[in-house]
């Protein structure tokens, strides 16, 4: 399958309708995804990015139906993670001498993955490549979201090939942002940002301001996953600036892990107390042992406060809560408050462990946490409600 996007750009990637997990088991892709590769024809022809490795042979076969491979003059790798570079080994077996334009860090990564000495051409911000009528300009974007990342801008048609930036995991053969459901699209965009780009907020803001200062006309943004932006493409850039600014909505997210539902009862009573104090704030409650972790992290990203609860097991905390706390730590959320709670039977270490983890993750803690022995009775539930009111007051 191929799709003509502009007069000179043709999509030659792969829609992965069956994809359910990404980054190993780290990221859920309930809507599938796509690996977007672009063929640009001018006096010279360039291929921008490839596809995930398992689809390498299929990619090259489809590409050969679109163009004689010997007519490809250049390859550009904006980012070398295997979901973008995986088609290279099969392609380079056919056209081994075609130069690959990429960042210096990308050369090391490509050699590390494929152990091949291809014809690398290192580029940096400000470098250009003439295709004839059109010119490509390279913009380094390290840590958005790997050290090798860069963007490629094409004049005349005013296209930004942004690789992972402004992308999302969303399979659709409609391809363009104005043709798909907007709520569904933006859900996948904020989920992608929250789970992948949050640690790089300051770099996101700095890079966007740098690009804006270039005053480049922009009619299209073509990322390497998901939908292409052609209708008001700057809308996703504005969203990135908003999300990168230590984003929060008027929301509290309560997460818990439980063995016999005592901690769940606490979570619901705390939520009741929050509602008594604030009738307007959104409250989300998730059992992290049952709900998708990436959807939960997206809701934490949206929140002013994270309230985390866990029962005690073996003088520690339950498996899924431990994993969630580790992911919260890695994402380095800013401008959020935190609180801890939990039930226990005899030793009761979990609340302090949860509170310590949230504090080490940079959250401003409210109180020392709330512990309840065994299953909360009516008096304990009233204590939980009072705790919820206290948390709401702290906002």
Indicate which residues carry an active-site annotation. 23, 79, 81, 83, 145, 164, 192, 225
Spatial distance between the Cα atoms of 323 and 313, rounded to a whole number of angstroms:
15
Question: Between 319-331 and 350-360, two packed helices, what is the crossing angle to 10 degrees?
Answer: 20
Cβ neighbours for 78, distance < 8 A, ≥ 6 positions apart: 48, 49, 84, 102, 149, 150, 151, 152, 161, 162, 163, 224
Asked whether 268 and 261 are in contact (CB, 8 A), the reply is no
> What does the angle CA 190 – CA 342 – CA 340 come to, to the nearest 5 degrees?
50
Q: Is 251 exposed, middle or buried (0-12, 13-18, 19+ CB in 10 A)?
A: middle
Residue with tokens 């997206």: 298
Spatial distance between the Cα atoms of 236 and 246, rounded to a whole number of angstroms:
17
The per-residue DSSP string of 154-209 comes to: ETTTTEEEEETTT------SS-BGGGS-HHHHHHHHHHHIIIIIGGGHHHHHHHHH
Q: Is 119 exposed, middle or buried (0-12, 13-18, 19+ CB in 10 A)?
A: middle
Containing 315, the helix (H) or strand (E) segment is none
Asked whether 52 and 36 are in contact (CB, 8 A), the reply is no
β-pairing verdict for 33-35 and 38-41 = unpaired
Rounded to whole angstroms, what are the CA distances from 311 to 65, 116, 143, 268, 324?
Answer: 59, 51, 37, 15, 14
Q: Which residues are paired to 337 by β-bridges?
A: 305, 364
Residue with tokens 């008096």: 379
């Amino acid at each position: 399958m191929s799709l003509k996007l502009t007069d000179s750009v043709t999509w030659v990637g792969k829609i992965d309708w069956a994809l359910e997990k990404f980054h190993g088991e780290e990221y859920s892709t309930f809507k599938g995804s796509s690996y977007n590769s672009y063929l640009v024809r001018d006096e010279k022809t360039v291929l921008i990015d490839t596809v995930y490795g398992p689809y390498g042979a299929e990619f090259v076969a489809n590409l050969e139906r679109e163009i004689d491979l010997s007519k490809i003059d250049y390859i550009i790798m904006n980012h070398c993670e295997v979901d973008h570079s995986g088609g290279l080994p099969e392609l380079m077996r056919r056209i081994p001498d075609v130069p690959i334009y990429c960042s210096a860090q990308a050369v090391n990564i490509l050699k590390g993955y494929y152990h091949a000495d291809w014809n690398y051409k290192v580029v940096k911000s400000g470098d250009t490549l003439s295709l004839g009528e059109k010119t490509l300009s390279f913009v380094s974007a390290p840590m958005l979201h790997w050290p090798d990342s860069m963007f490629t801008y094409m004049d005349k048609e005013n296209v930004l090939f942004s690789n992972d930036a402004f992308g999302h995991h969303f399979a659709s053969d409609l391809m363009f942002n104005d043709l798909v459901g907007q709520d569904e699209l933006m859900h996948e965009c904020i989920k992608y940002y929250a789970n992948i780009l949050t640690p790089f907020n300051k770099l996101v803001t700095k890079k966007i301001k740098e690009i804006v200062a270039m005053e480049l006309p922009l009619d299209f943004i073509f990322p390497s996953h998901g939908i292409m932006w052609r209708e008001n493409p700057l809308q996703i850039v504005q969203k990135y600036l908003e999300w990168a600014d230590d984003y929060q909505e008027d929301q509290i997210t309560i997460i818990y892990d439980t063995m016999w539902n005592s901690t769940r009862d606490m979570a619901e009573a705390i939520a009741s107390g929050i509602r008594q104090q604030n009738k307007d704030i959104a409250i989300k409650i998730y059992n992290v042992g049952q709900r998708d972790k990436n959807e939960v992290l997206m809701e934490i990203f949206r929140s002013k406060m994270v309230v985390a609860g866990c029962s005690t097991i073996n003088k520690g905390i339950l498996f899924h809560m431990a994993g969630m706390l580790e992911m919260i730590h890695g994402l380095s959320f800013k401008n959020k408050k935190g609180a801890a709670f939990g039930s226990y039977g005899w030793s009761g270490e979990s609340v302090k462990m949860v509170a310590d983890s949230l504090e080490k993750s940079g959250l401003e803690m409210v109180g020392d946490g709330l512990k309840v022995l065994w299953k909360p009775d009516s008096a304990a539930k009233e204590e939980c409600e009072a705790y919820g009111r206290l948390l709401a007051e702290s906002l």
